[in-house]
Structure 1
Amino acid sequence: MRETTQTVAEGLEGVVAARTRISDVDGEAGRLTIAGFALEEIAGRATAEEMIWLLWRDALPTAPERDAFARDLAERRALPSIALDLLRAAAARQSDPMDALRMAAATLSLDAPADDEDQARTVIARFPVIAAAYERLSQGHEPIAPRPDLGHAANYLYCLTGAPASPERVRALETYWNAVADHGLNASTFTARVIAATGSDLVSAVTGAVGALKGPLHGGAPGPALDMVFEIGSPERAEPILREKLERGERMMGFGHRIYKVRDPRADVLASAAERLFQSDGDRALYRIALEVEQTVLRLLEEYKPGRRLQTNVEFYTALLLHGLGMPTRLFTPTFAAGRAAGWLAHCFEQRRTGRIIRPQSEYVGERGRTYPSQE
């Protein structure tokens, strides 16, 4: 075998593959910076449209820019008939919602111009509409036409139920989308950058990113985190049930993160958003149980796994917040994708500017010198 002096980083662990001004993830300190803003500074204040503009332009929009951008997104929301036909077919087969999103996303290039900016705006405008339309179709209901007079987050909630959402619910969804809009060079973001680097269109790039996000090792499991809260049911049951789970070696869903060695900053932002939502419009009893579960899990993890630094991650409060907004668990990952699309596209724009294709090397470890068998 040929000698190699290169070190192979499995999974590209520790390899720096891009320079970016979009976000910075500091796992040791538990800090997430989004385009220069600490996450806790921007997530609960910016509208969804402002966050998208910030990621794409590296500056907050002026009021006229924000309003014009919001109007343009609203005008792009209507889905082409082929996308609706595809969603109906997927609903008839009860396809996974992420499969439905991936398939419908691929249709968006049919009536979106080849220009990157136009395609990006069309993707952002339609991803929530696709997710809402498929949710309704899969449950036997007709899709609800989007409303051009509503903002990006408010329209998504409207398309799910047909009723205007309260300001508190809109703020909760905007905070969630802002909190998950970008998070470094994760698998789906890297996928989008690789595709964009080839010169392919941005619809292809985000369709590939959706495929990467569907994988359970990347997309996470906010649903099971909520299932654990429901299973416990009351604060006094938290410790005995959680001890039993830990003694069986079960993983505590919603706790621990590959990057964060302290508490995930997104968890703090979403915890505050969940508190505001449940105070004004939600099941307060469920919220109290969730708090008890969180505190008990953290205490028991320190007891059973000392020094592992397993803290609350974004999945725990994602589950609580989206449930509080009335979303079923099957809708959690498509809703995440609708927020993360802003970051995917920001990275595509950034990668385009480098003018470089992404082409890492590999180390060959197979056989050599084989001969094809004689035909005699």
Structure 2
Amino acid sequence: MKIDFANLTLAHQEYATEINVAIQKTIEKSHFIMGDEVELLEDELKNFTGSNHVITCSSGTSALLLALSAIGIGTNDEVITSPFSFIAAAEMIAFLGAKPVFVDIDPLTYQINPSLITSAITPKTKAIIPVSLFGQPSDMDSINKIAQKHNLIVIEDGAQSFGATYKEKKSCNLTPIATTSFFPAKPLGCYGDGGAVFCNDEHIATKIKSLRIHGQTKRYEHSYIGLGARLDTIQAAILRVKLKYYPIKISKRNQVAKLYEKYLKNKSVKLPIIGDHIQSVYAQYSILSADRNSLEKKLKQNNIPYAIHYPIALHLQPCFSYLGYQEGDFPIAEKTCKQILSLPMNPYLSENEIEYISGVID
């Protein structure tokens, strides 16, 4: 049995005719940068999330950079985030000359642990970036409450959770600012790099729009030091097609997750825990195994693709050695890195495939 991890081929084939028409129309118009499709997509993303402002951009990483830049993060500032995540959030904090301050994760959800945030706040702390990992948001109510008490800005990194629901509100509209990624393997992916920033403050939105075009406020008039971070018009056209059908894909991802739960519930591995008030988009289906090496061998022997999200906690990455963290500083994150494994997750997995995958797992 040949199983595809993300199945981007089927994701294209399902809407290929409509997507190809959208691409061809964009090519014929030849307005490849900031064409009409970009603004139309931004309006549709606003409607989808309920956010007042959406600014599309070139990637999820540039979205984080734009958000941090818009609130003035720089040298001598500190931003609290998770050590168990893809590097982008911590990387952009450091890129701007600020200090990433890590806080350990909740052992059940793998999200940043709100109960540990307050003790990490100093007079230099300016923001908190909770990463909505594996498809579900963090405990945003608790995080927002802490931020309000200490006059901090919360930026949700929703690269893996776009479309998720938290207490009837959409991810990317749970905090003053949020970002997401449209990387091809994301639940809503384009055909290259892409991202977006979401916010409810008009002043911040206007500044981000300027920052993504080299800080330009008028043609060749630059109020800020910015960057070239626009979303290509072709990618916007593709995303507009896929966004129409995205609620169906979210539903199917949840159906796949329920089938995994059905076939894995009596196994030795720990399954994802999703809060009652959350609908995840299951960007990954990640389990914990106390004997991951053995599990990896079995998956390889049976030609089942898998991934490790993530093998090294951020505080132990060589690029962050200057921060002075040591092994043992964040024990839950470190233990999770040694046991985590992501099984195939996409809306096209059949029950037979899920049963086959699960049958390999003890």
Larger Rg belongs to: 1
TM-score (norm 2): 0.24
Higher helix share: 1
TM-score (norm 1): 0.23
Higher strand share: 2
